[in-house]
Structure 1
Amino acid sequence: METTGCAVVGGGPAGMMLGLLLARAGVKVTVLEKHSDFLRDFRGDTVHPSTIRLIDELGLGAEFRRLPQSRLSNVAFPVPGGPPVTMGDFDALPAPYNYVAMMPQWDFLNFLADAAAREPGFTLLMSHAATGLVRNGGRVRGIRVRTPDGAEDELLADLVIATDGRHSTLRSAAGLAPKEFPVPFDAWWFRLPRHASEHGAVAGIVPAFGRGEALVALLRNDYYQMGYLAPKGTDVRIRAEGLEGFRRRIAALRPDLADRVDAIASLEDLHWLDVRMDRLRSWHINGLLCIGDAAHAMSPAGGVGINLAVQDAVAAAECLAPALLRGRVTVEDLVKVERRRRMPTVVVQTVQRLMHRTVFAPIMTGKKSRLPPAVLYVGRRVPAVRRIMPRFIAFGPRPEHAPAFARRAQRTPT
């Protein structure tokens, strides 16, 4: 049986950032990740300006910019017979935080893990799965853990923080039930090759719309990351149509890519995302706090989920580090984190729900096969929205800054 100051369950962006920040505060922190590495494809790979600024404040900006990445400078939607409508022009924001960095999430997580490993109080346990909570005296005292060899163990902690995603084991164990919001679509992710002769902005986003379906292409250096959207609950039907049926769907939506749909070798190449949107009514019980997707699962609309989770981690570290250093975290400390981050969560989810109703629902029900006229009008004729939207996507409604205890001078990479 081991002990730690704070047990963080889940090695995603929120968990790794939280571990780094708490370790820099001098807290003994242990992060548990159930997988043996971070190499899982088609997870969120957008690092927004709010997170890039945070990384600079931590003194890690030079290292971060050396990672393989491309820059997304705007979000534009094609319009048949007319110029594209730009809904988010990040170039209009002050440099150097005027772009969204696009990189594989495993590179970002390894970067955070390397930075945290330089702190003496930080421990990362890979292939360690939290299976339940340890309780005593009406309080969570730690977690039950399955180790790499399959043995069961316990890790005791002054505080447990769940960052284990939308299917959180710990929030279920705590009996915390989320309020769910309807989502009109699911997503199927896959790759198509991008030929060397094809020019155009790397990290661009190219959507295509049909009746009852949509396709998003995220441009990478040598491939397209494709997201096929269809009404929720149609995964069985899509797979029943078979490989050729799916290839025909993609070719019809993007005829210019029809020459490479054979790169989808089997239906196993499709990574289905059961899109959910929910929010816990309470993010905590005594001794346990949920943040990130464990507290509020986000829609992929806007690509803000990772960055909202990172902001949760920053707020949690700043509010809880003093209590953790004292060795006594109260329910009031946990309430403080939840109150600080609930408003940004509600605002972002409200915007996403509006996008679902005005953009995605009409397309998924077959009523529309393109952006609604009202959306086009706003994008073209309302300058205030064109100014506000990029900042909202880039920084969110309440961006967090690095706590004073975590700031360092810029580190020169070796």
Structure 2
Amino acid sequence: MAANDRTRVAIAGAGPAGLFLGLLLARAGVAVTVLEKHADFLRDFRGDTVHSSTLTLLDELGLGPAFAAIPQRRITQVAAQLDAGTARIGDLSRLHGPHPHIALVPQWDLLELLADAAAREPGFRLLRNAEVTGLLREGGAAGAAGGPATAHDGAGPGGGRVTGVAWRDRASGKEDGAEHTLEADLVVACDGRWSAVRDAAGLTPHAFGAPMDVWWFRVPRHADDPDGGFGRASRGQFLIMVDRGDYWQCGYIIRKGADAKLRAEGLERFRARLAALQPWLADRLAGAPSSFEDVKLLEVRLDRLERWHLPGLLVIGDAAHAMSPVGGVGINLAIQDAVAAARIVRPALLRGGPVPESVLQSVQRRRWWPTVLVQGFQQAAHRGVVGRILDEDAFDRPGAEPDGALPLPLRILEEFPVLQAIPARFVAVGPLPEHAPRWARRAPG
């Protein structure tokens, strides 16, 4: 392609939000280009949950049968396993609708499905190995990605209208790559919690802090193991286990900043911790994880932009509001952002010319309160659950629940199972689910 190019909408990042948005806009008849810095979608330990509301959205887009053909596991119940016993937290089978469950598939399968569907639309283009390195501005100024913008480069919130992106072709095999520009009437940042586009725009999220990070790894699963997903918590330790068929995808919660210290203790010490926490895993821990190379660190962030837009630029998904892994709802929220954005910006895009900033502001207004609500829930969980578990001394303080008793909220959920539908809906559907606009819907096929 030419070193200089043009599109109506440039989307940075081909994750779930970026590809859903690209697909929807292409079905609206809008020329859209999605830029993905990697050559493929094959990256491990990404969020592999496809929530009930997303499954309904896939049905509405005519992609339900194609998704159903992908090998998958389903979660219908979520439980907490404590020293005092096991309690069910959420029962998804109580949800109304065609999908009372969460599907677990490798995220790359979902992304390939969306990319293939979008590629059938004449206005869609996906550029792989295309790393966004900066923003184009009215008047020729360009803000560099990957670091804070300055007043000199025009990339701050007070600069001119965003008119496109600069990007590097990583397929050349050279570190510096070939440089290109892509002009656009609207740029959408869908490039995640470490968003280079957001940095280039000079937008800084407010961080709420988090008491933990997560180690992700795999452990073999046996046929007689429990089904579904659950958390195992004990004094000072918290393990999340997600049933992936022939293996468990595990998330071991560690205190924020403790990664280097725990790795220095050695792999055998870590395996011993796991065996003590979940004894029925002991027989398979000799080779899993086989080394700390198999243990991936997720640095947990919980933050939110106060402003998701500038003239010519919209920020959505994790780039606008990084979510904690609590509840596993980040992907669901990002996809719902994308659906709302497509519906709201479509009329302005079809009229031609730049999208008024008031339209972009409408996207933020639509998605603001569900974001605040979910992040507020996650902050409460950080303080009242995760932080307490990681703080071993908290169990001995006055007023603490005795070791032999389930916490009061879990006792209530066990006593009144109908209440388990509330956390199930909050996680699997979300506080404000979005549906595909009629103009984007297709019959299966």
TM-score range, shorter chain: over 0.9
Cα distance in 2 for partners of 1:214, 1:404 equals 44
Cα distance in 2 for partners of 1:212, 1:81 equals 15
Query: Equivalent residue for 2:231?
Result: 207
Whether the 8 Å contact between 1:6 and 1:160 is mirrored in structure 2 is yes
2:278 alignment partner, one of 254, 258, 269? 254
1:130 counterpart = 2:156: no
Cα distance in 2 for partners of 1:312, 1:407 equals 18
Deviation at 1:382, TM superposition (A): 5.2
1:343 counterpart = 2:357: no
Deviation at 1:258, TM superposition (A): 1.2
Query: Equivalent residue for 1:160?
Result: 187
Query: Equivalent residue for 2:74?
Result: 71
Cα distance in 2 for partners of 1:404, 1:99 equals 25
Whether the 8 Å contact between 1:359 and 1:371 is mirrored in structure 2 is no
Whether the 8 Å contact between 2:216 and 2:296 is mirrored in structure 1 is yes
Deviation at 1:383, TM superposition (A): 5.6
Deviation at 1:353, TM superposition (A): 1.1
Post-superposition CA distance 1:160-213 (Å, at most 9, x none): 000000000010111111111121111000111123x43542xx1132223222
Deviation at 1:4, TM superposition (A): 0.3
Secondary structure of 2:274's aligned partner: helix
Q: Can you give the 5+ residue segments of structure 2 that lack an aligned partner in the other structure? A: 140-159, 396-402
Post-superposition CA distance 1:141-175 (Å, at most 9, x none): 00010012211110000100000000000101111
Q: Can you give the 5+ residue segments of structure 1 that lack an aligned partner in the other structure? A: none
Query: Equivalent residue for 2:425?
Result: 391
Bigger shift: residues 1-10 or 146-155: 146-155
Query: Equivalent residue for 1:177?
Result: 204
Residue type at the aligned position of 2:127 = L
1:187 counterpart = 2:211: no
Deviation at 1:80, TM superposition (A): 4.1
Deviation at 1:227, TM superposition (A): 0.8
Residue type at the aligned position of 1:158 = D
Whether the 8 Å contact between 1:320 and 1:333 is mirrored in structure 2 is yes
Secondary structure of 1:30's aligned partner: strand
Query: Equivalent residue for 1:320?
Result: 345
Deviation at 1:385, TM superposition (A): 3.8
Secondary structure of 2:115's aligned partner: helix
Cα distance in 1 for partners of 2:21, 2:97 equals 26
Secondary structure of 1:43's aligned partner: coil
Whether the 8 Å contact between 1:210 and 1:370 is mirrored in structure 2 is no
Query: Equivalent residue for 2:308?
Result: 283
1:221 counterpart = 2:245: yes
Deviation at 1:262, TM superposition (A): 2.0
Q: Percent identity?
A: 55
Cα distance in 1 for partners of 2:384, 2:272 equals 27
Bigger shift: residues 259-268 or 273-282: 259-268
Deviation at 1:321, TM superposition (A): 1.4
Cα distance in 1 for partners of 2:345, 2:381 equals 34
1:92 alignment partner, one of 90, 94, 101? 94
Whether the 8 Å contact between 2:82 and 2:232 is mirrored in structure 1 is no
Whether the 8 Å contact between 2:82 and 2:234 is mirrored in structure 1 is no
Post-superposition CA distance 1:209-229 (Å, at most 9, x none): 232221111112111111110
Whether the 8 Å contact between 1:144 and 1:155 is mirrored in structure 2 is yes
Mapping of residues 372-391 of structure 1, within 5 Å = 373-381=407-415, 385-391=419-425
Deviation at 1:351, TM superposition (A): 1.0
Query: Equivalent residue for 2:398?
Result: none
Post-superposition CA distance 1:39-88 (Å, at most 9, x none): 00111011111101111111111111111111100111124454x32211
1:57 alignment partner, one of 56, 60, 80? 60
Cα distance in 2 for partners of 1:241, 1:327 equals 60
Query: Equivalent residue for 2:330?
Result: 305
Cα RMSD (Å) of the superposition?
Answer: 1.6
Whether the 8 Å contact between 2:82 and 2:233 is mirrored in structure 1 is no
Moved segments of 4+, more than 6 Å: 369-372
Whether the 8 Å contact between 2:84 and 2:404 is mirrored in structure 1 is no
Cα distance in 2 for partners of 1:35, 1:230 equals 29
Number of residue pairs matched? 407
Deviation at 1:260, TM superposition (A): 1.5
Cα distance in 1 for partners of 2:256, 2:180 equals 39
